[in-house]
Amino acid sequence: MTLQSRTSRNAFWPGFRLAVYGMMFGIVFSSSAVLSQEATAEVDNASTMLAPMLAPAAPGNVTVEDAPNDAGHAVIVTFSQSQAPADGQALVLGYEIYRSLARSGPWKKVGAVPSDVDVTASLIYKDAGGSDKSSDDYLPTETDLFYRVRAVTADSTLYSDSEVSAPAQAVGQWWNSGRNPVFFFVLFFTLLTLYFLRVAKQRGDSLYIRPLAGIDAVDEAIGRATEMGKPILYVLGLGTASDIATIASFTILGRVARKVAEYQTDVIVPCYDPIVFTIAQETVRTGYMDAGRPDAYRDDQVYFVTQAQFAYVAAVNGTILRDRPATNIYLGKFYAESLILAETGAIAGSIQIAGTDEIAQLPFFVVACDYTLIGEELYAASAYLGREPLLLGALKAQDYAKAVIVVLAILGVIMSGLGYEGFAKAFEAVG
């Protein structure tokens, strides 16, 4: 190696080292700057997180008005929601409603309303209090009431109150316009009943009543019992004397007793309730007197058994199997014993006529009896047999009212199908 080449290499290495040292210094300086910026950003974020949250904007436009169509003790509070939270403000979760009898308080919390996603929408709260002055929720009538609304957040210490509302009073209304359809229907039915009461008094027995197969079969069943020389069993059920079904059955029992007295046939009336037993005795005795045969009545025809449900049923079943009555009539209020009685009568080969207003027992009577009065047909039967003008007029009015309701229902379906919702809304009862 020559002296010149050595000299060149010795001159190259110091420059190369200087370049490498410069690059290393640049990398270290850049990394330090980046780390310094990141640290500064983290400090800024920490400062932001540690900064206290601000209370939300207060609700506004709080208005209070009396609730319509009520007896008082209720008002409607309407208010605007808080504006959307700005930077640093807490999110509103809901609104609490406060009431006071004075503008300066004290305030009582009466309810709460959740916030709406659409902050531009107004919220409504109905403050319906009680009418009892001793109760905690009592809301006085014809007294100035003040309200304010509080926007609440997840932090119970961060909230905002609205301004106090103008005074308002809860006042009861004499007329509930939301129930006008009910009033007009009651008025229509009342006039219809009065009209048919007058017609029934004028025409009497000639007034047409829709036929009921079960009642038409009563006379035939009594005639069959007379031909066979066997008694008729009449069961009033397990109801009390205050039950409508039992009262209707008393009317039918009077008609049956009169027919039995005319045909000189025996009737057996086992009773479950002692008061029903007393009334049934007088009903049967009156029926015999109306037929002109009071001497044919015997006290043992109507008797009290027991008030134990299945003990009573066992006694009646024993009567059916021993005496083999030609006709069994079950009219009144029946429960689990309905099928036991009806099945025993079917085994005995009796003609059976049944009726009750207990819907759950009707299927058993339908499958085991020859004739069944369904639901309110039991009530109609008392008018059908009694032929009293008051009952006949009410029955005719009910039939016509039902026809009107059916026609209106059909028209409502048709109108709704055609898109005319106003017809159906005209019959809505609110309040």
Q: pTM for this structure?
A: 0.61
Does the pLDDT of residue 381 top 70, yes or no? Answer: yes
d(CA 2, CA 268): 153
Q: Average of pLDDT values for 357-371? A: 92
Looking at the fold, whether 245 and 334 belong to one and the same domain comes out as yes
Cα angle value 420/425/430 (rounded, 5°): 170
260: tokens are 């039995």
Q: What is the residue-averaged pLDDT of the chain?
A: 84
Does the pLDDT of residue 35 top 50, yes or no? Answer: no
> Is 220 part of any domain?
yes
> Is 402 part of any domain?
no
> Is 419 part of any domain?
no
Looking at the fold, whether 157 and 79 belong to one and the same domain comes out as yes
Looking at the fold, whether 129 and 249 belong to one and the same domain comes out as no
Q: Average of pLDDT values for 403-430? A: 83
CA distances 146 to 141, 295, 370, Å, are 13, 80, 69
Does the pLDDT of residue 42 top 70, yes or no? Answer: no
The pLDDT assigned to 398 comes to: 86
> Is 187 part of any domain?
no
Q: Could you read off the pLDDT of 134-161 as tens digits, one per residue? A: 888 888 888 999 999 999 998 888 899 9
Looking at the fold, whether 122 and 238 belong to one and the same domain comes out as no
> Is 195 part of any domain?
no
Does the pLDDT of residue 37 top 60, yes or no? Answer: no
DSSP result, 407-431: HHHHHHHHHHHTT-THHHHTT----
CA distances 399 to 198, 372, 392, 420, Å, are 16, 19, 11, 28
Nearest CA to 59 out of 105, 124, 4 is that of 124
Looking at the fold, whether 375 and 226 belong to one and the same domain comes out as yes
**pLDDT interval class at 221 (50, 70, 90):** confident
User: For residue 345, what is the domain's CATH number?
Assistant: 3.40.50
Does the pLDDT of residue 2 top 70, yes or no? Answer: no
Task: Name the residue with higher pLDDT: 380 or 314.
Answer: 314
Q: What percentage of residues in the chain have a pLDDT greater than 90?
A: 44
Looking at the fold, whether 233 and 346 belong to one and the same domain comes out as yes
Amino acid at 339: L
The pLDDT assigned to 333 comes to: 93
Looking at the fold, whether 137 and 222 belong to one and the same domain comes out as no
Question: How many residues are there in the chain?
Answer: 431
CB proximity list for 217: less than 8 A, separation 6 or greater: 351, 353, 370, 371
The pLDDT assigned to 41 comes to: 47
Instruction: Please state, as a whole number, how many other Cβ atoms lie within 10 Å of the Cβ of residue 358.
Output: 17
> Is 22 part of any domain?
no
Looking at the fold, whether 367 and 223 belong to one and the same domain comes out as yes
End-to-end CA distance of the chain: 117
The pLDDT assigned to 43 comes to: 44
The pLDDT assigned to 107 comes to: 92
Q: Average of pLDDT values for 341-350? A: 93
390: tokens are 């008051």
Q: Could you read off the pLDDT of 267-307 as tens digits, one per residue? A: 999 999 999 999 999 999 999 999 999 999 998 999 999 99
Does the pLDDT of residue 253 top 70, yes or no? Answer: yes
d(CA 362, CA 238): 15
Looking at the fold, whether 267 and 344 belong to one and the same domain comes out as yes
Q: Could you read off the pLDDT of 182-206 as tens digits, one per residue? A: 888 899 999 998 998 888 888 766 7
List the 351-356 sheet strands across, edge first: 302-304, 267-271, 232-237, 327-333, 351-356, 371-374
Looking at the fold, whether 241 and 356 belong to one and the same domain comes out as yes
**pLDDT interval class at 430 (50, 70, 90):** low
Name the range with the highest mean pLDDT among 33-47, 79-93, 395-409.
395-409
Q: What is the DSSP letter of 174?
A: S
181: preceding bond cis by omega (within 30 degrees): no
The pLDDT assigned to 3 comes to: 39
The pLDDT assigned to 51 comes to: 54
**pLDDT interval class at 64 (50, 70, 90):** very high
Instruction: Please state, as a whole number, how many other Cβ atoms lie within 10 Å of the Cβ of residue 30.
Output: 10
Instruction: Please state, as a whole number, how many other Cβ atoms lie within 10 Å of the Cβ of residue 378.
Output: 25
Q: Could you read off the pLDDT of 87-140 as tens digits, one per residue? A: 778 888 899 999 999 998 899 999 999 988 787 888 999 998 888 888 888 888
Query: Secondary structure of the chain in the HEC alphabet?
Result: CCHHHHHHHHHHHHHHHHHHHHHHHHHHHHHHHHHHHHHHHHHHHHHHHHCCCECCCCCEEEEEEECCCCCCCEEEEEEECCCCCCCCECCCCEEEEEEECCCCCCCEEEEEEECCCCCCCEEEEEEECECCCCCCCECCCCCCEEEEEEEECCCCCCEEECCCCCCECCCCCCCCHHHHHHHHHHHHHHHHHHHHHHHHHHHHHHCCCCCCHHHHHHHHHHHHHHHHCCCEEEEEECCCCCCHHHHHHHHHHHHHHHHHHHHCCCEEEEECCHHHHHHHHHHHHHHHHHCCCHHHCCHHHEEECCCCHHHHHHHHHHHHHHHCCCEEEEEEECCCCHHHHHHHHHHHCCEEEEEECCHHHHHHHHHHCCEEEECCHHHHHHHHHHCCHHHHHHHHHHHHHHHHHHHHHHHHHHHHHCCCCHHHHCCCCCC
Domain count, the chain: 2
125: tokens are 């709260």
Looking at the fold, whether 264 and 130 belong to one and the same domain comes out as no
**Window from 166-170, 214-218, 224-228, 334-338 with minimum mean pLDDT:** 214-218
- Domain span holding position 330: 209-387
Looking at the fold, whether 141 and 275 belong to one and the same domain comes out as no
The pLDDT assigned to 22 comes to: 55
Amino acid at 309: Q
Q: What percentage of residues in the chain have a pLDDT greater than 70?
A: 87
Beta carbons of 250 and 234 less than 8 angstroms apart? no
Beta carbons of 370 and 352 less than 8 angstroms apart? yes
d(CA 197, CA 200): 5
Q: Average of pLDDT values for 245-274? A: 92
**pLDDT interval class at 75 (50, 70, 90):** very high
How do strand 351-356 and strand 94-100 relate by DSSP bridges? Answer: unpaired
> Is 146 part of any domain?
yes
> Is 25 part of any domain?
no
The pLDDT assigned to 48 comes to: 45
d(CA 224, CA 345): 16
